[in-house]
Protein backbone atom coordinates (compact mmCIF):
# COMPACT_ATOMS: atom_id res chain seq x y z
CA UNK A 1 0.00 0.00 0.00
CA UNK A 2 1.28 3.54 -0.69
CA UNK A 3 2.76 5.83 1.93
CA UNK A 4 4.14 8.66 -0.20
CA UNK A 5 4.05 9.55 -3.86
CA UNK A 6 7.79 8.85 -3.86
CA UNK A 7 7.03 5.15 -3.62
CA UNK A 8 5.77 5.30 -7.18
CA UNK A 9 9.32 5.89 -8.31
CA UNK A 10 11.12 3.66 -5.84
CA UNK A 11 8.88 0.60 -5.57
CA UNK A 12 10.73 -2.52 -6.59
CA UNK A 13 9.52 -3.89 -9.91
CA UNK A 14 11.07 -6.58 -12.02
CA UNK A 15 10.30 -8.04 -15.39
CA UNK A 16 12.38 -10.49 -17.35
CA UNK A 17 12.10 -12.20 -20.70
CA UNK A 18 13.94 -15.45 -21.23
CA UNK A 19 13.91 -17.16 -24.62
CA UNK A 20 14.32 -20.85 -25.26
CA UNK A 21 15.01 -22.37 -28.64
CA UNK A 22 14.04 -25.82 -29.81
CA UNK A 23 16.30 -28.27 -31.66
CA UNK A 24 15.17 -30.26 -34.65
CA UNK A 25 14.52 -33.75 -33.34
CA UNK A 26 16.07 -35.71 -36.20
CA UNK A 27 18.77 -33.35 -37.46
CA UNK A 28 22.17 -33.95 -35.81
CA UNK A 29 23.64 -30.77 -37.24
CA UNK A 30 20.64 -28.57 -36.52
CA UNK A 31 21.41 -25.43 -34.56
CA UNK A 32 19.18 -23.83 -31.96
CA UNK A 33 16.63 -21.46 -33.41
CA UNK A 34 17.61 -17.83 -33.20
CA UNK A 35 16.43 -16.25 -29.96
CA UNK A 36 13.85 -13.57 -30.77
CA UNK A 37 14.69 -9.96 -30.00
CA UNK A 38 11.78 -8.51 -28.03
CA UNK A 39 10.92 -5.02 -26.82
CA UNK A 40 9.66 -5.26 -23.22
CA UNK A 41 8.16 -2.41 -21.18
CA UNK A 42 7.83 -2.60 -17.39
CA UNK A 43 5.48 0.10 -16.08
CA UNK A 44 4.06 1.07 -12.69
CA UNK A 45 0.50 2.22 -13.41
CA UNK A 46 -0.13 3.53 -9.86
CA UNK A 47 -3.72 2.28 -9.85
CA UNK A 48 -4.42 2.01 -6.13
CA UNK A 49 -7.84 1.13 -4.78
CA UNK A 50 -10.34 3.95 -5.26
CA UNK A 51 -12.03 2.81 -2.07
CA UNK A 52 -8.96 3.90 -0.10
CA UNK A 53 -7.65 6.59 -2.47
CA UNK A 54 -10.63 7.99 -4.40
CA UNK A 55 -8.97 11.06 -5.91
CA UNK A 56 -5.70 9.75 -7.30
CA UNK A 57 -6.67 9.85 -11.00
CA UNK A 58 -6.91 6.11 -11.50
CA UNK A 59 -9.57 6.27 -14.23
CA UNK A 60 -7.70 9.04 -16.05
CA UNK A 61 -4.47 7.01 -16.10
CA UNK A 62 -6.31 3.88 -17.23
CA UNK A 63 -7.63 5.82 -20.22
CA UNK A 64 -4.47 7.75 -21.10
CA UNK A 65 -1.60 5.30 -20.49
CA UNK A 66 -2.42 3.12 -23.54
CA UNK A 67 -2.34 6.26 -25.74
CA UNK A 68 1.21 7.25 -24.80
CA UNK A 69 4.08 6.75 -27.23
CA UNK A 70 6.20 4.73 -24.77
CA UNK A 71 3.36 2.26 -24.23
CA UNK A 72 2.98 1.55 -27.92
CA UNK A 73 5.15 -0.56 -30.19
CA UNK A 74 6.34 -3.08 -27.60
CA UNK A 75 6.19 -6.85 -27.78
CA UNK A 76 5.42 -7.25 -24.09
CA UNK A 77 4.21 -4.89 -21.35
CA UNK A 78 4.44 -5.82 -17.67
CA UNK A 79 2.18 -3.68 -15.48
CA UNK A 80 2.64 -3.19 -11.74
CA UNK A 81 0.24 -1.63 -9.19
CA UNK A 82 -2.87 -2.52 -11.19
CA UNK A 83 -4.68 -2.84 -7.86
CA UNK A 84 -8.01 -1.10 -8.45
CA UNK A 85 -10.30 -3.60 -10.15
CA UNK A 86 -12.32 -1.14 -12.23
CA UNK A 87 -9.39 1.01 -13.35
CA UNK A 88 -7.12 -1.93 -14.13
CA UNK A 89 -9.88 -3.68 -16.10
CA UNK A 90 -10.34 -0.47 -18.09
CA UNK A 91 -6.60 -0.21 -18.76
CA UNK A 92 -6.50 -3.78 -20.08
CA UNK A 93 -9.53 -3.15 -22.29
CA UNK A 94 -7.98 0.04 -23.65
CA UNK A 95 -4.73 -1.79 -24.37
CA UNK A 96 -6.33 -4.85 -25.97
CA UNK A 97 -6.06 -3.59 -29.56
CA UNK A 98 -2.27 -3.31 -29.18
CA UNK A 99 -1.80 -6.24 -26.80
CA UNK A 100 -4.63 -8.73 -27.32
CA UNK A 101 -3.00 -11.48 -25.25
CA UNK A 102 -3.13 -10.77 -21.51
CA UNK A 103 -2.85 -12.51 -18.17
CA UNK A 104 -5.28 -11.76 -15.35
CA UNK A 105 -4.01 -9.64 -12.46
CA UNK A 106 -1.90 -11.66 -10.02
CA UNK A 107 -3.70 -12.56 -6.81
CA UNK A 108 -7.15 -11.29 -7.79
CA UNK A 109 -8.54 -14.79 -8.26
CA UNK A 110 -7.54 -18.16 -9.67
CA UNK A 111 -9.74 -17.67 -12.71
CA UNK A 112 -7.96 -17.40 -16.05
CA UNK A 113 -4.71 -18.99 -14.86
CA UNK A 114 -3.42 -22.39 -15.89
CA UNK A 115 -1.92 -22.82 -12.41
CA UNK A 116 -1.68 -20.99 -9.09
CA UNK A 117 1.24 -21.55 -6.74
CA UNK A 118 2.57 -20.20 -3.50
CA UNK A 119 0.42 -18.71 -0.75
CA UNK A 120 -2.67 -17.46 -2.56
CA UNK A 121 -5.59 -16.56 -0.27
CA UNK A 122 -9.07 -15.64 -1.46
CA UNK A 123 -9.62 -13.66 1.76
CA UNK A 124 -6.58 -11.36 1.40
CA UNK A 125 -7.93 -7.79 0.97
CA UNK A 126 -5.78 -6.74 -2.00
CA UNK A 127 -4.46 -8.48 -5.09
CA UNK A 128 -0.87 -8.41 -6.34
CA UNK A 129 -1.34 -5.77 -9.02
CA UNK A 130 0.80 -7.42 -11.73
CA UNK A 131 -0.31 -8.37 -15.23
CA UNK A 132 1.46 -9.23 -18.48
CA UNK A 133 0.24 -7.92 -21.85
CA UNK A 134 1.58 -9.31 -25.12
CA UNK A 135 1.16 -8.91 -28.85
CA UNK A 136 2.22 -12.56 -29.14
CA UNK A 137 -0.02 -15.50 -28.17
CA UNK A 138 0.33 -16.62 -24.55
CA UNK A 139 0.29 -20.41 -24.40
CA UNK A 140 0.61 -20.76 -20.62
CA UNK A 141 -0.21 -18.46 -17.69
CA UNK A 142 0.81 -19.14 -14.10
CA UNK A 143 0.63 -17.01 -10.97
CA UNK A 144 2.63 -17.44 -7.78
CA UNK A 145 1.85 -15.58 -4.55
CA UNK A 146 4.71 -14.87 -2.16
CA UNK A 147 4.62 -16.32 1.34
CA UNK A 148 6.62 -13.54 3.01
CA UNK A 149 5.69 -9.85 3.33
CA UNK A 150 5.70 -7.01 5.85
CA UNK A 151 3.94 -3.70 6.39
CA UNK A 152 1.04 -2.93 4.07
CA UNK A 153 2.14 -5.64 1.64
CA UNK A 154 1.05 -8.22 4.19
CA UNK A 155 -2.53 -7.41 3.15
CA UNK A 156 -1.99 -8.14 -0.55
CA UNK A 157 -1.50 -11.23 -2.69
CA UNK A 158 1.78 -9.96 -4.11
CA UNK A 159 3.71 -12.41 -6.23
CA UNK A 160 4.66 -12.86 -9.86
CA UNK A 161 3.09 -13.69 -13.20
CA UNK A 162 4.73 -16.24 -15.46
CA UNK A 163 3.77 -16.39 -19.12
CA UNK A 164 4.99 -18.54 -21.98
CA UNK A 165 4.72 -16.80 -25.35
CA UNK A 166 4.73 -18.27 -28.83
CA UNK A 167 6.93 -15.91 -30.85
CA UNK A 168 6.90 -17.24 -34.41
CA UNK A 169 7.26 -20.78 -33.12
CA UNK A 170 9.80 -20.03 -30.39
CA UNK A 171 8.72 -20.30 -26.75
CA UNK A 172 9.63 -17.19 -24.79
CA UNK A 173 9.27 -17.13 -21.00
CA UNK A 174 8.28 -13.86 -19.30
CA UNK A 175 8.16 -13.16 -15.56
CA UNK A 176 6.69 -10.01 -14.08
CA UNK A 177 6.65 -9.08 -10.40
CA UNK A 178 6.38 -6.23 -7.92
CA UNK A 179 8.33 -7.22 -4.85
CA UNK A 180 8.13 -6.02 -1.24
CA UNK A 181 8.00 -2.23 -0.89
CA UNK A 182 10.18 -0.29 1.52
CA UNK A 183 7.34 0.36 3.95
CA UNK A 184 7.47 2.17 7.33
CA UNK A 185 5.33 -0.69 8.61
CA UNK A 186 8.35 -2.96 8.21
CA UNK A 187 11.11 -3.01 10.81
CA UNK A 188 14.64 -1.88 9.95
CA UNK A 189 16.04 -4.15 7.25
CA UNK A 190 12.89 -6.26 7.11
CA UNK A 191 11.75 -5.09 3.66
CA UNK A 192 15.10 -6.05 2.11
CA UNK A 193 14.89 -9.41 3.87
CA UNK A 194 11.40 -9.98 2.45
CA UNK A 195 12.56 -9.12 -1.07
CA UNK A 196 15.44 -11.58 -0.74
CA UNK A 197 13.04 -14.33 0.29
CA UNK A 198 10.65 -13.45 -2.54
CA UNK A 199 13.38 -13.58 -5.17
CA UNK A 200 14.50 -16.95 -3.81
CA UNK A 201 10.94 -18.23 -4.25
CA UNK A 202 11.02 -16.96 -7.82
CA UNK A 203 14.37 -18.64 -8.46
CA UNK A 204 13.05 -21.93 -7.10
CA UNK A 205 10.00 -21.72 -9.35
CA UNK A 206 12.10 -21.09 -12.45
CA UNK A 207 14.57 -23.84 -11.54
CA UNK A 208 11.83 -26.44 -11.02
For residue range 130-177, list pLDDT tens digits in order: 999 999 999 999 999 999 999 999 999 999 999 999 999 999 999 999
Least confident of 2-6, 65-69, 183-187: 2-6
Check whether 9 has a pLDDT greater than 90: no
3-class DSSP assignment, residue 16:
strand
Confidence grade of residue 36 (pLDDT, cut at 50, 70, 90): confident
pLDDT number for residue 34: 78
| CATH level 3 topology of 13-18+38-207 | Deoxyribonuclease I; Chain A (3.60.10)
For residue 2, pLDDT over 70 is answered with no
pLDDT of 14 higher than 90: no
Residue percentage of the chain with pLDDT more than 90: 82
Q: What residues have CB less than 8 Å from 135, skipping those under 6 apart?
A: 74, 75, 76, 98, 99, 100, 101
Distance CA 163, CA 149 (A): 23
Amino acid sequence: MPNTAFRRLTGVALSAALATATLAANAPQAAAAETPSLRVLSYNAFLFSKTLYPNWGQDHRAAEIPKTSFFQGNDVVVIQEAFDNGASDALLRNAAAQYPHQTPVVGRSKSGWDATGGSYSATTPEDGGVTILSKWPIVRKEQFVFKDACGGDWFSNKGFAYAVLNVNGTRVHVVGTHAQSTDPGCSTGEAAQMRSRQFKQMDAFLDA
